[in-house]
Structure 1
Amino acid sequence: MRRSRGLTAALVLSLAGAGTGIGLVLMPEASAITAPVAFTADELPTWQTNGVVWAMAQANGTVFAGGTFSAVRPPEGVAGAEQNAVNFVALDAATGNPTSCKLAFTIGEGTATVRTLVVSKDKKTLYAGGSFGAVNGTPVSSLAAIDIASCTPKASFHPSFPATVRALAVTDDTLYAGGDFAAVEGQTRERFAAVDASSGALKPFVANVDEPGRAVEVTPDGKNVLLGGDFFTVNGSNSHALAVVNATTGAVTKTYNNIPSNSVVKDISTDDTGFYTGHEGSGGGVFDGRIGLRLSDFTEKWRDRCLGATQFVLPYEGVLYSSSHGHDCSTELEFPDGKRNFLLAQPTNHEGAAPAPVDGFVRGPGKLGWHPTANDGMDGTEGIGPRVMAVAEKNDVKYMWVGGEFTLINGKPQWGLTRFASTGDVGAPTTPVASASSVKPGEVQVRWRTSYDADDSKLTYRIYRNGSATPAATVTASSLEWERPQASWNDTTVKAGQSYTYRVTATDAAGNTSALSAVASVTVPTSVQSYPNQVRTDGAELYWRYDDAVSPYVADSSVSGNRSGVQLNTPALKQSPGAVPGSTAMGFNGTSQQVYSDRRQTVGNAFTIETWFKTNTTRGGKLIGFGNNTARSSGSYDRQLYMTNTGRLVFGVYNGSTRTVSTGLFETYNDNQWHHVVGTQGPGGITLYVDGQNKGSLNATSNATYAGYWHVGGDNLANWPTRPTSNFFAGQLDETAVYPSALTQAQVKSHFDLAKAPTDTVSAVKTTEDTYINQGAPSTAYGTSTSLAVRGSGSLYETYMRFNLPAAPAGQVLKSASLQIKTSTQANSGTTDTVKVLPVTGNWTGAGTTFNTKPTLGTTPLGTIAGVAEGSAVHNVELDTAAVSAALGTSYGLGLTSTGTDPLWIWSSEATAAEGTPQLVLTFGAK
């Protein structure tokens, strides 16, 4: 058996190509489905049932499914007629189609059902248990043996089980059963029994329990039997839900009394080193997850306390696959209460040393990147979803089969049965959501929310700059469906004053690649932007500037925190003006909108939270705080700044009671002006600062210990002092930051003062008109052409562009100017020649300019570009700042010429190509 690897959701990055990575750990490229997962998450066409599948087994490339149903039908959209299938169907593992084996499990009164299936070690006999009185008319009593080769019931095998059989396990000579019965063959056998595997004769094994048996498994050495169910005693010994007994006599070997009384064992499975239990329960303090135990001494090695009614556990090649409707894995530091996750996978063992116990239990190994989706199921059923799993192999391909009461798999109609293969991954990752920012010359930070792929947790990202077909960098990062942290890369080859565009793709291990992200544009400043640079320098590990242009991603601009945010209920983007020049804000409606961080974390007793806000609300609301849920209201929440109805500000933590500091009775801040608020905690306690001023401190040096998420704009405020009417804030927020230490008063004051410092502003001015002339067609005008051309000889091409230049903002001057163009997609659009940018001194129009009427060009170049590479990409040409500055506030013409014979082809303003329109990028700054 392959040794399992304990993959975690921690972000793992690798880098190749231009620039320098941020917090990157080198590691090899991903290969086939991310190990140790063995199956894709892509559902295969499979015949469906019209009822619940309770049981599965497999032999020789055939999968047997039993349950409560009457027919099977072809997959959605596949031709074929429905077939009778009375509580049983045999299917080809490789095609998903029914085989010729037909069995009908019936009963005289009531509803027949098959609840458990198991195949003999020699793969010749299929045993079925449930509630039925006949198989194909042959009388039986809730337990039957089927000859697999002939698909006929063995008439000589008919032990009498007077009540439902729910679980079976088989050795070479013994068949163990668990269920609801109190006697077998007229002899007392309470809920567990053993019969001869050939004859059905009752064996002396006695393991009487007081409540139903639901699971039975034999240890690999054959010496012990593992029992699971609802019971509280075994042979008179106290043992709830789980016990180990001698395989021959049923004498108790091991009891368990640490499973909550309101939880039961639904399934038990084994591998070479351990056994695993799946649990279901109801009520407070319930245990709904999985336990991993040692075979050596039957002691517990880990306990996964996710909530969600685990129905089945299947260890395979070092991975424990499980079916449930897991909805809350907070105790495992994974997804909070919310969306149901029906199919999960995790290593059978921790990699390396196990984590320290929490609440007396070692957490389970972290979930792996295998995440097919399902649903609760059919009307009138228990709403569980998947119930049973089996791995079958045929033609060297392995298949994970799943049965239950679901009606959807991966969002597509599929009832009762589905399957996944070990090969053939065809699902591409989701498209990354990218952004880019620059706060100082020579550096651009490209950020993106990691993508999601249902069977690959480790994805390869390629970053393309300026439309190039060759990636500027390659980064590998890990993500799961419920944890998609930001990944980032620093481009350190950029030039001040120039504009750059970036797009990102995600590729899985099988080579499936997402679409390109939307274009992320940025202009590199000519001087350091004081405020954001200081926030980063002071160690912010989360920094949301709210310059995002699309939902639902909020980029983290910290140096290496990569703690991005997720917008909930679409807050208003790019609200201007923001609190800091050059930045925009985010608007919140005060009823439902917020942003929460995309990565679960713990926060120590030293931290700082900081944000800017602007509001006139009289209903108060949370500005920023920490809570243990994401989209749902948190049950644990503190470390928060909030506003009262009157506009006062409160900062507080919880350490057994709420400990808060607030502004004075008449110090209110709902005046529709921008204000800066900071809350710190450290060895000196908690302190509240507003607009750079200390508003009070309190000797509170600890806070509540739990894992959670940062929330901005809303979350629970119940039971906090002077609680406002609304948990949600109505107004604008900007420049939110979190630090892992307490900022000093000097640092806080510095941030407040720096927000007033002047910063560069950038104007991107697109052409109002453009055309080119062609010596080979001297009378033709090209004013409506989607392409523009430049060539010096052979047949002269010259391009002309017109821009309406803005005046410099008050108190600022032009600091840099560049022309941005994009080569077209036609072959050989680049050039080996040097292209000059010259001022146009003569008059011209797009409609009237031909070679015969071409305007006059100046003689002194404004800028040059020495060759343009082949392939469609964006290029920048630095221009003479003084010359462009002199033309500010006017209509300005530029001409492109060359002296060589190799033409350059670029997009015009009439083109629809992304990033294609020629533009001037003008950077203005303080005099």
Structure 2
Amino acid sequence: MRRSRGLTAALVLSLAGAGAGLGVVLTPQASAVTPPVAFTADTLPTWQPDGIVWALAQANGTVFAGGTFSKVRPPEGGSGAEQDAVNFVALDAATGAPTNCALSFTIGEGTATVRALVVSKDGKTLYAGGYFGAVNGTPVSSVAAIDIASCTPKAAFHPGFPATVRGLAVSDDTLYAAGDFNAVDGQTRERFAAVDATTGAVKPFVAHADEPGRAVELTPDGKNVLLGGDFFTVNGKNTHALAVVDATTGAVAKTYTNIPSNSVVKDIATDATGFYTANEGSGGGVFDGRIGLNLTDFSEKWRDRCLGATQSVLPYDGVLYSSSHAHDCSTELEFPDGKRHHLLAQPTDHKGVAPAPVDGFVRGPRKLGWFPDTNDGLGEGIGPRVMEVAPKDGTAYMWVGGEFTTVNGAPQQALTRFASTGDVGAPTTPSASAAAVKPGEVQVRWRTSFDLDDSRLTYRIYRNGAATPVATVEAESLEWERPQASWTDTTVKAGQSYSYRVTATDAAGNTSALSAAASVTVPTSVVPYPNQVRADGAQLYWRYDDTSSPYVADSSAGNTSGVQVGAPALRQAPGAVTGTSTAMGFNGTSQQVHSDRRQTVGSSYTLETWFKTGTSRGGKLIGFGDNTTRNSVSYDKQIYMTNTGRLAFGVYSGGYKVVTTGLFDTYNDNKWHHVVATQGPAGMALYVDGQNKGTLNVTTSAAYAGYWHVGGDNLANWPNRPTSNFFAGQLDETAVYPTALTQAQVQNHFALAKAPVDTVTEVNATEDTYVNQGAPSTAYGTSTSLAVRGTSAYETYLRFALPAAPAGQVLKSASLQVKTSTQAGAGTVDTVSVVPVTGTWSGAGTTFATKPTLGTTPLGSLAGVPDGSAVHNVDLDTATVAAALGTSYSVALTSTGSDPLWLWSSEASAAEGTPQLVLTFGPK
């Protein structure tokens, strides 16, 4: 239907005509995107027809578009007046505006349409096919030849096609056609034909098909023709939807019988080593995706079985671009049934050894990070119909035509284009989280960002508001797979608080906004419960301490984060584990969390979660399923609650295999309970609150790729199915392990959850001020800044309402946290001391002349503070602070040097600017 892209002689000629070198063909400028993708996803201003574009071709920097439309208008917000364009328009590849070439394709009765366009190898002639009877008044019969230089139809070329022509391909001297016809110029030619490229005379090529032809393409060596369509036979030989025939005679060289009978081939394209089909179908068992085949023997390399009516394929520089409305790529281990993706890209070949066949087919190469999108649009609601690459002035442009009416969410009809340079879209802002379960270590985690044309992004982690990142991490992500990335900070000090922010940057340097700050206080001793969960090998550990939607952080080494659905309630307190965590609340009707990437589950695993509920409608606590936001079709490896409050652990292994708690073992009593389910070589086991509640000698479960779900998913047909698929209540500390935990490990987790742990209290300053020797009578109690210097002197005073130690606990550490302001030179090279205030003072009344008396023994000190607004911690003498617990306590910041330190006060509006004490309490 269209000639091969990227390496053809015609493209070389068109580049030469545009003054560009061959290098643009082989290595398009793509420095702004993640290779091997060659185009940005940023749509460019393009004039738009008022109907549907079915065909595209290009030559010498001009793009030709054919279809079913009557006018063309400027892009939204563009200048210019609407113009007549009867089923055809020529546009400048670089500007997207119409050229002065105007052709009108008409017919006496019915609706004229242009369905196929192709340019001769010398770049001088444009061939058009479709259903029309005249071009600019010159009589033709559904096929026409246009002289590109003069933009006029060639009257000498006049073959007679009595029905719609849907595909065209051209060699040096022959034009091949596919369509609905049964004859050409009175000679029998059923659905495929060849005519002389100059005169239109019918050639002896015969490839009779029993159903319409939709695509025709020459192999690069010119020896064979690739046929695509609806047919079941060609020249009497059984071959459905695809065939290879001799280019001279039409004799069948290769047949295909493994394309489902309810699927057709809509398009064929080639490159130097292979050819590719676009397939569409309807009904059960449909094949809607793409096939990659070898040119050497025409055998199949791979088959991408994504569902979604593929309309067009375009190989370019090692990447196969496709247009469709792909909505389910489960067979490819990619996105499940759901959102439609209208433009996709994937390598033309697997890198290295291809994967083993599944269901008799090798999966297609994994999708690349290129996600411009359209809507379904007019007509059949298919979206994009055709693609073409047009180079001009050193830039390659990807043109897309179809029946869409929006592109990337903005109004744009039937035509759009993307360039090989000029990426301006920044990635989405990361969602960050920070946690610490042992001294000297903070795990910073974030949900990776999404960028329309960059799959590998660079993340920078900033600590305590500093301008320079403390770490840089690269990570991959796709629109439907945004796995957690993480970095561990091992330079932190026990008892001190830290905050982290993360940005994402693409290959062009476009950078997201800073994430919201994720704050954490480093414990002075190991936190028992979460530390043990990690030590026992959890590969998913959701603690539900998240502060925003939709990210659920994973505290394990598996980086299997979650995505919230339906906005469950965050940070419900108290959580299940003493002193360390909050829970997540679920409404029992629509809320859940699913893991962020598809995976498979081995023969051994453990499910663990804490729950609290009073529901009488049951619901799923945790389970595995093959979809995300929609009901899963395959679902097992699950713990669910019945309407009466009993717990069930079930797998599917030739039937429903379920372990259930006893008739009177019910747990909908609004108390926290611990449930663990294991399966492995010893079979299935269910534990509640550390006790074994039942076993079953079943060692297998259903094998499929899917996602972990918490709070809901399908439960249809399962024994004692509850009224609701969704769980109403609170969940906490959910973990999944790749092994079966022992009963001793389960009991240890239950016991550790109630063990005493350290608690951290952050106490903001209730009052602060500073005094200035240079203005001895001035009070600075309402200033947004605080200052410290020896000469001439500044002193800062801070007051805190210290809490009493929790019952049974003592103060284990104390630190003062302050933040330097944003003014130039806010840091200091001098040592700043923190000393007790023994005299009285107030923010409103204290001046240098009335400053209070200070203690002589420092509580702690900072040996210099670098410039730049950032948070700094000062370790304080624990015994001194402990003696003041339960009182109002004041400290002063002093220095003996001449370099001032400027800090934010509690009156400042800057985030994280308020001075505070961080107090860590723990068991005696």
Class of the TM-score when normalised by the shorter of the 2 chains: over 0.9
Alignment of 1:174-323 (within 5 A): 174-323=174-323
SS at match of 1:266: strand
1:26 corresponds to which residue? none
Per-residue CA deviation, residues 574-599 of structure 1 (Å, 9 max, x unaligned), is 00000002210000000000000001
1:867: which partner in 2? 864
What is the alpha-carbon distance in structure 1 between the residues aligned to residue 745 and residue 32 of structure 2? 49
5 Å-filtered alignment, 1:367-406, equals 367-378=367-378, 381-406=379-404
Task: Give the counterpart letter for 1:220 in structure 2.
Answer: P
SS at match of 1:752: helix
TM-score by length of 2: 0.96
Name the counterpart of 1:778.
776
Q: Which residue of 2 aligns with 1:17?
A: none
Say which SS state the counterpart of residue 417 (structure 2) adopts. strand
8 Å CA contact 2:5, 2:270 repeated in 1 = no
Verify the 8 A CA contact 2:32 2:422 in the aligned structure 1.
no
| Alpha-carbon distance between aligned partners in 2 of 1:844 and 1:291, rounded to the nearest angstrom | 80
Partner secondary structure for residue 531 of structure 1: helix
Shift of the alpha carbon at 1:432?
A: 0.4
| 1:916 paired residue among 902, 913, 918 | 913
CA contact (8 A) 1:50 1:69 kept: yes
Shift of 1:920: 0.8
Q: How far apart, in 2, do the equivalents of 1:695 and 1:242 lie?
A: 59
Cα drift, residue 234 of structure 1? 0.6
Q: Aligned partner of 1:130: which letter?
A: G
Deviation at 1:849, TM superposition (A): 1.2
SS of corresponding position for 1:601: coil
Q: Residue 33 of structure 1 aligns with which residue?
A: 33
> CA offset at residue 640 of structure 1?
0.1
Structure 1 residue aligned with 2:563, among 539, 550, 566?
Answer: 566
Mark the CA change 1:3 to 1:656 in structure 2 (over 3 Å): closer, same or farther: farther
Specify the SS of the correspondent of 1:707. Answer: coil
Shift of 1:803: 1.1
1:480-514 deviations in Å (ceiling 9; x for gaps) = 01100000001111111000110001010111111
Which segments of 5 or more consecutive residues in structure 2 lack a partner in the other structure? Answer: 8-29
> Counterpart amino acid of 2:495?
G
Q: Match of 2:572?
A: 575
Separation in structure 2 between the aligned mates of residue 823 and residue 907 of structure 1, nearest angstrom: 6
Check the 8 A contact 2:6/2:271 in 1, yes or no. no
- The aligned runs of 1:744-759 (5 Å cut-off) are 744-759=742-757
Match of 2:810 in 1: 813
Look up the match of 2:23.
Answer: none
Name the residue aligned to 1:91. 91
Report 1:327-346 matches (<5 A).
327-346=327-346
Alpha-carbon distance in structure 2 between the residues aligned to 1:598 and 1:140: 56
For 2:770 and 2:60, locate their aligned partners in 1 and report how far apart those are by CA, in whole Å. Answer: 72
Q: Aligned ranges for residues 867-886 of structure 1 at < 5 Å?
A: 867-886=864-883
- Give yes or no for the alignment of 1:846 onto 2:843: yes
> Separation in 2 of the partners of 1:85 and 1:813?
83
Matches within 5 A, 1:417-432: 417-432=415-430
Q: In the alignment, what sits opposite 1:644?
A: 642
Amino acid at match of 1:567: Q
Q: C-alpha separation between the residues in 2 aligned to 1:913 and 1:218?
A: 66
| TM-score, normalised via structure 1 length | 0.96
Between the aligned partners of 1:386 and 1:788, the Cα distance in structure 2 is 61
Q: Deviations over 1:224-264 (max 9, x none)?
A: 10000011111111111000111111111111010011100
Pairing of 1:86-125 with structure 2 (within 5 A):
86-125=86-125
Read off the aligned partner of 1:861 and give its amino acid letter.
Answer: P
**Pick from 724, 727, 743: which aligns with 1:726?**
724
Which runs of structure 2 are paired with 1:414-813 in the superposition (5 Å)?
A: 414-558=412-556, 560-581=557-578, 582-793=580-791, 795-813=792-810
Q: Aligned equivalents of 2:754 and 2:6: distance in 1? A: 58
| Paired position in structure 1 for 2:852 | 855
Partner of 1:8: none
Residue type of the partner of 1:69?
A: F
- The residue type equivalent to 2:238 in the other structure is N
CA drift at 1:767 = 1.0
> Quick check: 1:2–1:318 contact (8 Å CA) kept in 2?
no
Once residues 438 and 714 of structure 2 are traced to their aligned partners in structure 1, the CA distance between those partners, rounded to angstroms, is: 38
Per the alignment, residue 22 of structure 1 pairs with none
- Between the aligned partners of 1:89 and 1:570, the Cα distance in structure 2 is 48
Moved over 6 A (4+): 1-4
User: Are residue 161 (structure 1) and residue 161 (structure 2) matched?
Assistant: yes
Which residue of structure 2 aligns with residue 12 of structure 1? none
C-alpha deviation, 1:2, in angstroms: 13
Q: CA offsets per residue over residues 333-384 of structure 1, 9 Å max, x none?
A: 0000000001000000000000000000000000000110111113xx1101
Count of residue pairs the alignment pairs up: 898
How far residue 778 of structure 1 moved from its aligned partner, in angstroms, is 1.0
In the alignment, the residues of structure 1 paired with residue 214 and residue 323 of structure 2 have an alpha-carbon distance, to the nearest angstrom, of: 16
Match of 1:408 in 2: 406
Q: Aligned partners of 2:281, 2:850: CA distance in 1, in Å?
A: 86
**TM-aligned CA deviation for residue 601 of structure 1:** 0.2
C-alpha separation in 2, matches of 1:109 and 1:126: 25
- Structure-1 residue corresponding to 2:18: none
Between the aligned partners of 1:43 and 1:918, the Cα distance in structure 2 is: 48
Q: Secondary structure of the equivalent of 2:892?
A: strand
Report the Cα offset of residue 846 of structure 1. Answer: 1.0
Residues 3, 594 of structure 1: CA spacing in aligned structure 2 closer, same or farther, 3 A cutoff?
farther
Deviation readout 1:817-846 (Å, 9 max, x if unpaired): 111111011000000000011111121111
In 2, distance between residues paired with 1:77 and 1:337? 36
After superposition, give the CA deviation of every residue in 1:34-64 in whole Å (9 maximum; x if it has no partner): 1100000111111111110000000000000
Shift in Å, 1:470 = 1.0
Q: Residue 907 of structure 1 aligns to which amino acid in structure 2? A: W
Counterparts of 1:29-68 in structure 2, within 5 Å, are 32-68=32-68
2:909 and 2:158 mapped to 1: Cα distance? 76
1:415-469 CA deviation, whole Å, 9 max, x = no partner? 1111000000111111000000000011100000000111110000011111111
Q: Describe the SS at the equivalent of 1:602.
A: coil
- Cα RMSD, aligned residues only: 1.1
Deviation at 1:31, TM superposition (A): 6.0
Letter in 2 for 1:675: H
User: Following the alignment from structure 2 to structure 1, what is the Cα–Cα distance between the partners of residues 763 and 795?
Assistant: 21
| Letter paired with 1:348 | T
Q: Which runs of 5+ in 1 are unaligned?
A: 5-29
Counterpart-to-counterpart distance in 2, 1:81 and 1:459: 42
Q: Which amino acid aligns with 1:519?
A: A
- Report the Cα offset of residue 3 of structure 1: 13
Are 1:3 and 1:318, in contact at CA under 8 Å, matched by a contact in 2? no
In structure 1, the partner of 2:26 is none
Q: Aligned partners of 2:404, 2:161: CA distance in 1, in Å?
A: 30
AA matched with 1:721: P
Distance 1:351 1:281 in 2: 29
- Aligned partners of 1:806 and 1:106: how far apart in 2? 87
CA shift, 1:32, in A, is 3.7
The question of whether the paired residues in 1 share the 8 Å contact of 2:71 and 2:83 is answered with yes
